[in-house]
Structure 1
Amino acid sequence: MAQYAWGDTTLGRIPLRETFGATEAGADDRTLDLDGQESYPPLTRAQVIARHDGINALVTGQLVQATFTDKPERNGYYTVKAASSTYTEYRNEAVTADWKVTLERVGSDSETDLQSRLTGAVRLNDFSLTGERWHAPAIGHYGYYTGATNPTTMTRTGADGTITVYRGVPANISPRWGCDPTSYQSGRVRVTTTGSQEVYGVDVPLSATGWSLTNGLVNITPSASATFDVQAYTGGAYRSKLWNTSVAGSGSSIAAFDKATLLRNDPEMVIVRLIESLNPGRATLDLTLRRGSRFVEGYLQVGTSATLAVYRSSLETNTSAAASGYVTATADDSDGNVFACGSARAFTAHPNGGIIKSSATSMDFWIGAVASQTTLNSNPTFETDTSGWTATNATLTRSNAQAKYGSWSGLLTSTAGASPRAEAAKATVTAGSSYRASGWLYAPSAIASGVAVNINWYDGSNVYISTSSNNTTPASGAWFFMDVSFTAPVNAASAGILFTMNGTPGAGVLLYGDDIRLRAATPSGDAATDLRNMYIGAMPEAVYGVRR
C-alpha cells in the first residue's frame, strides 16, 4: 500500500504511487498517459531504483496489466507505447524517480482474452519420449479454452496459493483464458536481488550471490555450502536440497558464480544466466523457471570438452533410471519428499544422485521433487511420545536405540497372538480414492514371517472392512523403506495405518518403526516420470491480449 494515503498503481509487476491524473485519448488509438514520482524517503533507496529501472525496462508492445486503487474503472490490459524515468540523487538527502508511461488500451477484463502462444516443439531426447504439453496460467484465471479438445487439470499448492496446471494441451493450439487484472500476477515467476528486492526487467543489475528465483512451488538460491539450493514448497514451507554443479567432474564443484544476468523476466517464465571464470575460458549456466512448474531447468555450457555434472551435495540413496532419462531418491526424505532430476540426453548417474556427461561441451538437466501430500495420521515419527497409536498383541514404546529421522522411533515388542502391530488413530478417507502407506522399519533380528506397513479400512460406523497389505521379509540390522498405494474400498470412511509383524512370531520379537505415514497418493502429474515428461514437453510461452 502506498504511503501517506496515496493510492497504488501497478503496471505489470511494478508498484507505483497513484497520481491524481490519468490522461486518456480515444479515436483510433485509445491511449492512457500516466506520470508520477517515486522518492526516498518514504521508500527505501533500493525500492526507488528498482521502480526507476523497471519503468525503463518496459518494452514497446509489451502487454501489461494496470490496476488502480482510486481509479479502478481504468483497470485493464494495455500495451506499452513509451516509457521513461528520470533519476535524481540529492546526495545524503533524497532520491527521486520521475516517470512517464504511455499505454494503449487492449481492454478490460470483461472484454479481453489472454492468449498463451506455446511455441516450439518437444525437446529432442535420447529416450523416445513424446513429452507432455502442459501450461499453467495465472492463479485466479477463468474460462480456459483450447477449442474442441479439453486438457486435463491438476492443482499444485504453493506459497502464492493453489495454481491450476493444464495437462495434455492440444498441439498447435494457443489457449485462451480470462483473468481479473488484480489477479494476473498471482503465481508469477519472480527473481529477486540483494535485500529480497524484486527485479522488474532484464536490463537491470542482479547480484551474483544475492539472487533468488521462485514461482511459489520451487525456490532456487545460491548456497554457501553448495552451488545452489533448490527448495520445494510442501507442507506449508520450502524444503531445502543442496546441489553442486561442476565442469570438472565430482572433484571440483562451482562454489560461486562470478556474475548473474537476466535473459528473460516475465510472469510466465524467467531465465537467469550465471557466468563462472575458468582458466582459461568460462562456464555458463542458464536456469529457467516456468509458472506452475515443479522443477527448474538448467543448461550448462563450456568452450572445450569437459566432464559436466549436477549432483546432490551429499549422498542420498537413489535409484537410477538413466535409461529412461531420470534419477530419483529411493525413499522419502525427512520432509516426505523425493528428489528427482534428469536430462533429455543420455547421461551417467552420479553416485550422490544426479547426472554426469563426460567429454561434453553442454549438458541440459532438470531438478525437482516428487512433493509429499499432507500426512493424515498424527505422530508419524514418535519424537515426543507414542500418542495416537494403539498396540495389539504387542507393546509400543518410544526408543532412541534406533532412529531413521530425528532421535527416536517406535519400538514394537510382540507379546502373544497373531500379527503384533501398532495402528495409528483413524483418519478420514474417501471411498475410491488412492492412498499411500509408507514407512521405515528396522528388525534387529530376522523375522521369518515377514513384516508390513498396511492400511485398515473402516466404514462410517467405524466397523472394520478390510486390510490392504504390503508385506516383505526384511534383512535384519538395517532400516528399509516400504511404500505402496492402495485404493480405498467401497463404503470406506476412515483408515488407520499400521506397522506389523506377520504371522505369530512369539513373544519378545522386536520391530522399530519410524516416519510411518498415511497420505493421499502422489497426484498424477507430480511423479518423477511425470516431471520428466513435462520437462521434455515444456513450451516457451508468450502472452498476448486479444478482444473476445
Structure 2
Amino acid sequence: MAAYGWGDVTLGRIPLRETFAVSESGGGDRGLDLEGQESYPPLTRAQVIARHDGINALIAGQVIPVTFTDKPERSGYYTVKSASSTYTEYRTDMATADWKVSLDRVGSDAETDLQSRLTGAVRLNDFALTGERWHAPPIGHYGYYTGSTNATTMTRTGADGAITVYRGVPANVSPRWGCAPTSYLTGRVRLTTTGSQEVYGVDVPLAATGWALSNGLVNVSPGASATLDVQAYTGSAWHSKLWNVSVAGSASSITTWDGATLLRNDPEMVILRLTKGLSPGRATLDLTLRRGSRTVEGYLQTGTSATLAAYRSTLETNTSFAASGYVTATYDDGDSNRFAIGSARSFTAHTNGGIIKSSATSMDFWIGVVASQTYLSSNPDAEIDLTGWTGQACSIARQATPGSPPFPGAWSIKATPDGVSSSNSIAESPHSAVGSIAPGASYTCSYWIYSPAGWSDFRASIDWYDASDVFLSTSSSSAQVIPAGQWTYVSNTAAAPANASRAAGRARQGVTPAASDVWYGDQIVLRAATPSGDAATDLRNMYIAAMPEAVYGVRR
C-alpha cells in the first residue's frame, strides 16, 4: 500500500500511487488514460527518479500487466500507446514526477491468453548438440498450452518460490498460458542498482558498481575479490561462488568496470552490458539471465585478439568435459552443489575450473551449478548431533573438525577403532535407512575422510534393505589410500539389488586398525547417482537452445 493510505497502481513493474480517476473510452479499442504524480518526500529521491525513468521507458505496442488496489475491476493486460513523465527538482526540498500513460485494454486474465514467441535458432556449437526448447512462464501461471503435444515439466525452487520449467516445447509452437496480473511479476528477472532499487527500463542511468542481476535462482553481482559473485539458490539459501573474467588469461582478471548499460530489461529476460577500458581498446561483457534459468550467460568481446577466460577465482577440484562443452566440480561442495561452466565453442579447460580461448576476440560461456540433489541420508553431518549414526566396531563422537576441510561446518564424526576388528564403520543406523529406493537404479554413497596418520584402506559402502528393513547385501568401493592429515573424498556408485526399497550409507576403514588409528568422517551422504533435472548436460543443452522470448496478449 502506498504512503498515506493511497492505493497502488502497478504498470508492468513500475509501482505508482493510484489516482482517484481513470479515463476510459470504448469503440474499436477500449482505451484507458492515467495520470498522476510521484514525489519526494514521501518517496526517496532515487525512487522518484526510477519511476520517472520507468514511465519514459515504456514502449509503444508493449503488453504489460496493470493492477489496481482500489479499482481491481480495471486490472488486466494492456497495450502501451504512449507514456511521458515530467521531472521537477526543487533543490534541497522536494522532487516530483508528473506522469501520463495511455493504454489500450487487451482484457482480464479470464479472457486473455499470453502467447510466448520463442524466437531464434539453436546456437551454433562444436559439440553436435541439438539443444532443447524450454520455457518458464511466471510463477502462478495456469493453462499452459502447446497444442496436440504437451511439454514435460520440472520444478525449480528459488527465492521467489517454485517455478515450473517446460521442457521439450514442440518446434514451431508459441505456447499460450494464462496468468493473473497480480502474479505476472513473481519469478521475474530483475536488475537492481545502488540501494537495491529495481531498474524498470533500458535507457536509464546505471552505476558500474552496486548492481545485482537475479531471477530467484541465480544472483550475479560484482565480486569483492573477483570479477563476479555468482550465487545459486538451493536448499532454501543463496550459495556463492566467485569467478574471474579475464582478457589476459590467468595473468590478470577484470576487477572493476568503467560502465554499465542495459540492452534488454523485461520480466522474462535481462541483458546487462559491462564495459572495461584496456588502454588502448576495451572489453565488453554481456550478461544474460532468463526467467527460470539455472545459468547466467556471458559473452566476452575485445577489439583485438587476446587470451579470454572465465574461471573460478580459487582452485576447486574439477573434471573437464571439454570435448563435450563443459567443466564441472569433481565433488559436491558443502552446500551439496557442484559448479558447472561451459561454452558453445571449443575451449581449453582452466586449472581452477573454467574455460580459456587463446587468440580470440570473443568467447561465449555459461555459469551455473549442478543443483543440490535430495539426500537420502537424514543427517549427513554432525553439526547438530549424531542422530541416525552408529559406530560399527568403533566408538563415534562429535568433535571439532580438524585440518582445513574443503567444506563448511565446525563439527565432524570422530571414529575410534576397537583395536581388534578387521574393519570399522561410521554407519547409518538400520532404522534410519531411507526409502524410495528403486531396484536396478544407481545410487552413490560419498563422504570426506581425514586420517591424522594416513591409512591404506577406506571404502564407501551402501547397505541394502527390503521394505521391512531386512538386510539384503552390501555394495562397497575398492580400497582407497588416504594421505596423512588431508581431507580426501571417497565415493561409490552401485545399482540397487532386486527387492531393495531402502538403503543406508557407510564410511568404512579396513586392514585391522589399532585403537590409535582414529579417523574423522564428514558429509556422509547417500543420493541418486544421476542428478535429475539440473545435471550439467541438461544445463548445457538448455543453454544451446536458450531462445529469446516475446510476450503478446491474445483473446481466448
Q: Normalising by structure 2, report the TM-score.
A: 0.92
- How far is 1:452 from its partner? 1.2
- How far is 1:489 from its partner? 7.5
Provide closer, same or farther for how the CA distance between residues 486 and 203 of structure 1 changes in structure 2, counting only shifts above 3 A. Answer: farther
Structure 2 equivalent of residue 423 of structure 1 = 427
Give the SS at the match of 2:552. Answer: strand
In 2, the alpha carbon distance for the partners of 1:195 and 1:107 equals 36
Question: 2:482 is matched with which residue: 468, 476, 486?
Answer: 476
Give the SS at the match of 1:128. Answer: coil
- How far is 1:481 from its partner? 2.3
**How many residues in Structure 1 have an aligned counterpart in Structure 2?**
544
Could you tell me whether the CA contact under 8 Å between 1:411 and 1:512 is conserved in 2? yes
Structure 1 equivalent of residue 160 of structure 2 = 160
Give the SS at the match of 1:60. Answer: coil
In 2, the alpha carbon distance for the partners of 1:5 and 1:520 equals 53
Alignment of 1:9-408 (within 5 A): 9-375=9-375, 377=377, 379-383=379-383, 386-399=386-399, 400-402=401-403, 404=405, 405=407, 406-408=409-411
In 1, the alpha carbon distance for the partners of 2:256 and 2:324 equals 31
In 2, the alpha carbon distance for the partners of 1:299 and 1:513 equals 42
- How far is 1:418 from its partner? 6.5
- How far is 1:441 from its partner? 2.5
Could you tell me whether the CA contact under 8 Å between 2:460 and 2:492 is conserved in 1? no
Q: Which runs of 5+ in 1 are unaligned?
A: none
Provide closer, same or farther for how the CA distance between residues 142 and 314 of structure 1 changes in structure 2, counting only shifts above 3 A. Answer: same
Provide closer, same or farther for how the CA distance between residues 378 and 33 of structure 1 changes in structure 2, counting only shifts above 3 A. Answer: same
Provide closer, same or farther for how the CA distance between residues 272 and 522 of structure 1 changes in structure 2, counting only shifts above 3 A. Answer: farther
In 1, the alpha carbon distance for the partners of 2:548 and 2:327 equals 25
Could you tell me whether the CA contact under 8 Å between 2:472 and 2:500 is conserved in 1? no
Could you tell me whether the CA contact under 8 Å between 1:33 and 1:101 is conserved in 2? yes
Cα deviation, 1:249-280, whole Å, max 9, x if unaligned, reads 11011111100000000000000000000111
Could you tell me whether the CA contact under 8 Å between 1:235 and 1:373 is conserved in 2? no
- How far is 1:442 from its partner? 3.7
Structure 2 equivalent of residue 514 of structure 1 = 522
Structure 2 equivalent of residue 414 of structure 1 = 417
Structure 2 equivalent of residue 497 of structure 1 = 505
In 2, the alpha carbon distance for the partners of 1:201 and 1:435 equals 48
Provide closer, same or farther for how the CA distance between residues 346 and 160 of structure 1 changes in structure 2, counting only shifts above 3 A. Answer: same
Provide closer, same or farther for how the CA distance between residues 495 and 17 of structure 1 changes in structure 2, counting only shifts above 3 A. Answer: farther
- How far is 1:235 from its partner? 1.5
Provide closer, same or farther for how the CA distance between residues 58 and 468 of structure 1 changes in structure 2, counting only shifts above 3 A. Answer: farther
Q: Which runs of 5+ in 2 are unaligned?
A: none
In 2, the alpha carbon distance for the partners of 1:21 and 1:427 equals 64
Amino acid at match of 1:528: A
Structure 1 equivalent of residue 535 of structure 2 = 527
Could you tell me whether the CA contact under 8 Å between 1:403 and 1:409 is conserved in 2? no
Give the SS at the match of 1:110. Answer: coil
Could you tell me whether the CA contact under 8 Å between 1:56 and 1:84 is conserved in 2? yes
Amino acid at match of 1:100: K
In 1, the alpha carbon distance for the partners of 2:67 and 2:31 equals 15
Give the SS at the match of 1:323. Answer: coil
In 2, the alpha carbon distance for the partners of 1:468 and 1:162 equals 37
Could you tell me whether the CA contact under 8 Å between 2:116 and 2:176 is conserved in 1? yes
In 1, the alpha carbon distance for the partners of 2:518 and 2:108 equals 68
Structure 1 equivalent of residue 4 of structure 2 = 4
In 2, the alpha carbon distance for the partners of 1:428 and 1:147 equals 41
Structure 1 equivalent of residue 552 of structure 2 = 544
Give the SS at the match of 1:324. Answer: coil
In 2, the alpha carbon distance for the partners of 1:499 and 1:337 equals 21
In 2, the alpha carbon distance for the partners of 1:522 and 1:97 equals 55
Query: What's the Cα RMSD here?
Result: 2.3
Could you tell me whether the CA contact under 8 Å between 1:78 and 1:106 is conserved in 2? yes
In 2, the alpha carbon distance for the partners of 1:376 and 1:95 equals 57
Structure 1 equivalent of residue 470 of structure 2 = 464
Amino acid at match of 2:86: T
Provide closer, same or farther for how the CA distance between residues 484 and 346 of structure 1 changes in structure 2, counting only shifts above 3 A. Answer: same
Deviates most, 86-95 or 394-403: 394-403
In 2, the alpha carbon distance for the partners of 1:374 and 1:191 equals 30
Amino acid at match of 1:422: I
In 1, the alpha carbon distance for the partners of 2:224 and 2:546 equals 31
Q: Normalising by structure 1, report the TM-score.
A: 0.94
In 1, the alpha carbon distance for the partners of 2:444 and 2:17 equals 50
